[in-house]
Structure 1
Amino acid sequence: MPSDAAPGGVVGPEQASRWAWDGTSRWYPRLLTDGVRVERCLDLRLAHRLLRGSAYADASRLARAPTGAFDEAASPLEPTPAASGRAQPVAATLFDVDDDGPGEGLPGPPVDAGGVARPGAAACVDEVALLDEAIAGSTHPGRLRLLVAAESAGALAAAEMHHAGVPWDTAEHDRVLTDLLGARSAGPRSTPEARPERMAALAAQVRAELDAPTLNPDSLPDVLRALRRAGLPATSTRSWELRGLDHPAIEPLLAYKKLSRLHSANGWAWLDRWVVDGRFRPEYVVGGVVTGRWGSSGGGALQLPRQIRSAVRADEGWSLVVADAAQLEPRVLAGLARDERMAAAGNGRDLYQGMVDARVVDERAQAKVGMLGALYGGTTGASAAVLPRIARAFPQALGHVEAAARAGERGEVVTTLLGRSSPRPGAAWAQVQADALDPDASRNAESRARAQTRAWGRFTRNFVVQGTAAEWALCWIAEVRRRLWRLGELDGPPGRAPEPFARRPHLVYFLHDELVVHTPTAWARVVEAEVRAAAAEAGRLLFGGFPVDFPLSVAAGRTYADAKG
């Protein structure tokens, strides 16, 4: 270790293809700004969080250690000030480093803009050793190594998608808003005058029908009071409830609510704030949801409403390749439970139709609603009616989620395939359960405890499947990212994405089971094939030779709307 090494948050030899740093979101954006792509990394904060909470490693020193710097959450996509200094090489532990020569590092200030301490290089080296020890001593070291690698690769992909941005046609977005909402208002945004003309007209109609001239249709309490004054038994403004009411104000109110959602979520204010130089740059939070699904810290990155899909437009000479995984969670459940009959029902075809063909159910709609009930704990209605048939056909799959639900009801931890574990219910949960066990407990206390127990069981039932599906998606992202880069710089017109992606197909958007790639049009078919191959590889990584497949719906188009159909 060089004696002149400056403290910093990045460690690793210059020639190594894998780096360890305290947070990808802290360091990678600056490298991308300089046109530098990192092939692989170990995100110490993400790995620390995973291993500290995993039941596979609950006997490790890491699991028992007091809270420290690596437990602090890093800000998503935080820019890192430029600095200079020497990096410290990392020993070959979690990642095999072939060249241990020293290189230039990226040391930074000891705290970030939010006051969170940044570990120095020595602390990062110690953390790598602690993580490696936790994995080596775990009950499933191979699974945890894959989980840590996949989560770290996901962090790289998230930063790259933010850097490249989703190509956006602001003129088309403005046209869509004007067609649906009417002309944009010039009034201050915080006042009713900010409503575009069609929304303003609907608001006036609602006021007139309810004889409420000062009604604010964006205020839930105001609307409920006005509806009740009109003699309507409204308990909420949910659309399904409003549709059950008979009054001339209901139709314009429903129309207003629909336009208001678009205006508030993706209207002109959103366009002005989030689309810059023809790019929407999502701010992803990797592992932002307890199951491992990604979250978003702003801009509504995890929703692109149908109305504005035509505004997502590829650069001239480029296309968008959109890929959706079909029935991802049921297929993951088949692999988790090693249920061969369920896997066979979806082999190379629509899983729900396969269930019909296997005479498990009579109609595709029954298969879908029944499987949703199995995954989310449906106990009433159409779901409950069909569940016994699915349980008889696929006893291993249904037994797997039932076991997870029972564990949750007992307050126990459940774990995904690769090792992400659910949190334990909190002190309030335990108190409700204790109150119900009191000899003098009331029926209400017992009822509350039963309801709480069932609710936590529904959570753990879905946790194991949704979390493992998130792991499949991480492996898919990592493999797509690797394959796209391997294609190299392609012939054709350069796109408007910044380097290092100006002449390369690159990921621009991700949503749970969907990926969007921006590619030169001439290479769209090649990209489609690589995305499909990556899905198959993700399945192999998680489930080995077990015969469960992950078919994709893949299409290319100039706009997101074209590709989605």
Structure 2
Amino acid sequence: MLVLLARPARGAHPGAVVHARTLDDAVLAPERAVRWVWADTAAWYPRLLTDGVRVERCLDLRLAHHVLRASAATATSDLARAPRGPFDAGPAEQAAEPDRPPTLFDTDDEPTTEAGQSDADEDACLAEVAAQDAAVAGAATPGRLRLLLAGESAGALAAAEMRHTGLPWDVAAHDAVLRELLGDRPRRGERPGRMAALAAEVRDALDAPHLNPDSLPDVLRALRRVGLDVTSTRKWELQDVDHPAIAPLLAYKKLSRLHSANGWAWLDQWVPDGRFRPEYVVGGVVTGRWGSSGGGALQIPRLLRGAVCADPGWRLVVADAAQLEPRVLAGMARDERMSAAGAGKDLYAGMVDAGVVPERALAKIGMLGALYGGTTGASAAVLPRLLQAYPQAFGAVEAAARAGERGEVVSTLLGRSSPRPDAAWSRVQADALDPDANDRAQSRARAQTRSWGRFTRNFVVQGTAAEWALCWIAELRRRLWALGESTGTPGRAPAPFTARPHLVYFLHDEIVVHTPAGLAAEVAEQVTAAATAAGRLLFGDFPVQFPLSVGAASSYADAKDAARLPWDEPLDQPVDDRADRS
């Protein structure tokens, strides 16, 4: 049964069920239980979580529409050819409006007739469900699209839950790092003491008493005035310059980044209650990777990892997928020899053992060149050997690159498709074909085609890796809930996760689970089992492995240090045995 939530009439309960029906052929799979259907998970699910209600499965109509609208597999469907409608706002557009009304259908000039409002919204949602169902059913590989839409919707549930629970964060530990590096917290609008001292050093060394070290043009002018021929203030350009202003300038820039990105203002805004709640944007990147619309969720600086601390009596289980994109490439291309190189060991070391390349560094350089379009230096030298050894895998990315250079669409394993080049790209290509085109026009066109080819080359692999990660999250989310409640010390996460292990962080190929200490070992096993299951979902019985580095500890820093891959030597003393941090 699909249970549909549309915007309810004014005065109705915000979780009102507007319509329920049974579909013979559901969009995502045959139904065994209720699946919630709504316009936007980010708008609906937080309300339920606030009431302590967890949703097992859902269909996010907006996310599904976004995939189906652009997929080459559904290009001839009525959904793909229809005019733009309320479901066409992409993830990034939605994220830009954090205070927007709760569904896609609310407007400032709504009619006041309650029955008319709910009827119109119900009709729009039902029409969208039917259009998506027809689009998927008409695709050549409907099963793959169903898996993609299921993963996308499950990811949206996980993202809402991670924002609901938050990543446990020790404010005092964070403050101690800032004070050690920056000095005492300054008054609003002032620089911290260490930064102010470094700024004074830079001004003295450049004889520029009024220099603003935060202004790139001012700093460049001051550097050139003392005879330094520099084009930027980047570290790689300045680090070899011999002048007394350089060391304090580089030190200032490093502290300035910390102060602006993760300083006291960030701490006040994003960790007000000892929990970091970033704003994830599911499908926010064109390849399907997640984005973030605030808080800097896509990285935790190394020097602040120690501030990410589990609740007393709890642990953080941290897992990273090893060499994810190369292994995904082997699976999607069904290259058995490349898959065998990574069976139970480091993939790059396996290439050396197979005699393909003489050393691990060359294998890695060549692989990065294949994935990202490296055409010079060591990458270009080793690529022919890799192509000869693994023709299916490397042939797949080469074919994607050639398609992109022709301005064609490429697709991931499950059916997410790349955008076409824009009109400006097409005009440059057309100008180069003009009989009177000069060398400059032709050179510009070649550069554009190569650039777009690099994009499509990586799109098919990065996008399929994002699909694997969605399956990993969905499977792990299900397994964690099945572990049930712990009888140990309750955590500080809100209901319904107070006594249950739960996801608290995700970044491309890394997840963090917050778990009662007594369940940490079992959670680590489930994390690994979920990765294996994700591989089977995407690649069936093809023998590609997805090993993880997994560690458990009281802090994120210690868990990262404890993380080990299956082929690593075990630690003499488990980091997890360290004392709890309050």
TM-score for both structures, normalised by structure 2: 0.88
- State the aligned residue count: 532
1:347 aligns with 2:364: no
Note the alpha carbon deviations across 1:242-291, whole angstroms, 9 max, x for none.
12322221111111111111111111110011002110101000000000
Q: SS in structure 2 opposite 1:69?
A: coil
- Equivalent position of 1:48 in the other structure: 65
The AA in structure 2 aligned to 1:171 is A
Q: Report if the CA contact (8 A) 1:417-1:468 is conserved.
A: yes
1:558 aligns with 2:554: yes
- Equivalent position of 1:102 in the other structure: none
In the TM superposition, residue 199 of structure 1 has moved relative to its aligned partner by 1.3
Q: Report if the CA contact (8 A) 2:63-2:152 is conserved.
A: yes
The aligned runs of 1:210-359 (5 Å cut-off) are 210-359=206-355
Counterparts of 1:129 and 1:79, CA distance in 2: 29
1:440 aligns with 2:441: no
Q: SS in structure 1 opposite 2:386?
A: helix
Note the alpha carbon deviations across 1:351-381, whole angstroms, 9 max, x for none.
1111111121122111111111110000112
The AA in structure 1 aligned to 2:38 is W
1:374 aligns with 2:375: no
In the TM superposition, residue 160 of structure 1 has moved relative to its aligned partner by 0.2
Q: Report if the CA contact (8 A) 2:39-2:103 is conserved.
A: no
The aligned runs of 1:129-528 (5 Å cut-off) are 129-186=130-187, 188-189=188-189, 194-528=190-524
The aligned runs of 1:93-112 (5 Å cut-off) are 110-111=105-106
In the TM superposition, residue 208 of structure 1 has moved relative to its aligned partner by 1.2
The aligned runs of 1:16-27 (5 Å cut-off) are 16-27=33-44
Q: Report if the CA contact (8 A) 2:168-2:309 is conserved.
A: yes
Q: Report if the CA contact (8 A) 1:27-1:79 is conserved.
A: no
Q: Report if the CA contact (8 A) 2:481-2:500 is conserved.
A: yes
Q: Report if the CA contact (8 A) 2:281-2:292 is conserved.
A: yes
The AA in structure 2 aligned to 1:454 is R
Q: SS in structure 2 opposite 1:70?
A: coil
The AA in structure 1 aligned to 2:122 is A
Q: Report if the CA contact (8 A) 1:199-1:260 is conserved.
A: yes
User: Does 290-299 or 218-227 show the bigger shift?
Assistant: 218-227
The AA in structure 1 aligned to 2:548 is L
Note the alpha carbon deviations across 1:28-73, whole angstroms, 9 max, x for none.
0000000000000000000001001000111111111110111124
Q: SS in structure 1 opposite 2:316?
A: strand
User: Does 310-319 or 385-394 show the bigger shift?
Assistant: 385-394
Q: SS in structure 1 opposite 2:87?
A: helix
Q: Report if the CA contact (8 A) 1:11-1:124 is conserved.
A: no
The AA in structure 2 aligned to 1:111 is D
Counterparts of 1:390 and 1:108, CA distance in 2: 50
Q: SS in structure 1 opposite 2:152?
A: helix
- Equivalent position of 2:580 in the other structure: none
- Equivalent position of 1:93 in the other structure: none
Counterparts of 2:352 and 2:244, CA distance in 1: 43
The AA in structure 1 aligned to 2:472 is W
Note the alpha carbon deviations across 1:376-430, whole angstroms, 9 max, x for none.
0001122222212211211111100000000000000000000000000000000
- Equivalent position of 1:28 in the other structure: 45
- Equivalent position of 2:122 in the other structure: 121
Q: Report if the CA contact (8 A) 2:69-2:75 is conserved.
A: yes
In the TM superposition, residue 522 of structure 1 has moved relative to its aligned partner by 0.8
Return closer, same or farther for 1:390/1:262 CA change in 2, 3 Å cut-off: same
In the TM superposition, residue 515 of structure 1 has moved relative to its aligned partner by 0.2
Counterparts of 1:80 and 1:450, CA distance in 2: 43
Note the alpha carbon deviations across 1:449-481, whole angstroms, 9 max, x for none.
111110000000000000000000000000010
User: Does 382-391 or 54-63 show the bigger shift?
Assistant: 382-391
The AA in structure 1 aligned to 2:42 is S
1:529 aligns with 2:525: yes
Return closer, same or farther for 1:547/1:114 CA change in 2, 3 Å cut-off: farther
Counterparts of 2:248 and 2:80, CA distance in 1: 56
Counterparts of 2:309 and 2:278, CA distance in 1: 16
- Equivalent position of 2:54 in the other structure: 37
Counterparts of 1:451 and 1:58, CA distance in 2: 29
Counterparts of 2:420 and 2:456, CA distance in 1: 10
Q: SS in structure 2 opposite 1:287?
A: coil
Q: SS in structure 1 opposite 2:512?
A: strand
Q: Report if the CA contact (8 A) 1:30-1:79 is conserved.
A: no
Return closer, same or farther for 1:176/1:318 CA change in 2, 3 Å cut-off: same
Q: What's the RMSD between the two structures over aligned residues? A: 2.2
Q: Report if the CA contact (8 A) 2:316-2:556 is conserved.
A: yes
User: Does 505-514 or 125-134 show the bigger shift?
Assistant: 125-134
Q: Percent identity?
A: 72
Q: Report if the CA contact (8 A) 1:317-1:492 is conserved.
A: yes
Q: Report if the CA contact (8 A) 1:25-1:78 is conserved.
A: no
Counterparts of 2:234 and 2:329, CA distance in 1: 32
Q: Report if the CA contact (8 A) 2:45-2:157 is conserved.
A: yes
Return closer, same or farther for 1:80/1:204 CA change in 2, 3 Å cut-off: closer
Q: SS in structure 2 opposite 1:276?
A: coil
Q: Report if the CA contact (8 A) 1:44-1:128 is conserved.
A: yes
The AA in structure 2 aligned to 1:48 is H
Note the alpha carbon deviations across 1:481-506, whole angstroms, 9 max, x for none.
00000111112011000000000000
Counterparts of 2:509 and 2:104, CA distance in 1: 37
Q: Report if the CA contact (8 A) 1:406-1:457 is conserved.
A: yes
Unaligned runs of 5+ in 1: 82-106
Q: Report if the CA contact (8 A) 1:9-1:121 is conserved.
A: no
In the TM superposition, residue 202 of structure 1 has moved relative to its aligned partner by 1.2
The AA in structure 2 aligned to 1:19 is W
User: Does 528-537 or 173-182 show the bigger shift?
Assistant: 173-182
- Equivalent position of 1:101 in the other structure: none
Q: SS in structure 2 opposite 1:120?
A: helix
Q: Report if the CA contact (8 A) 1:146-1:418 is conserved.
A: yes
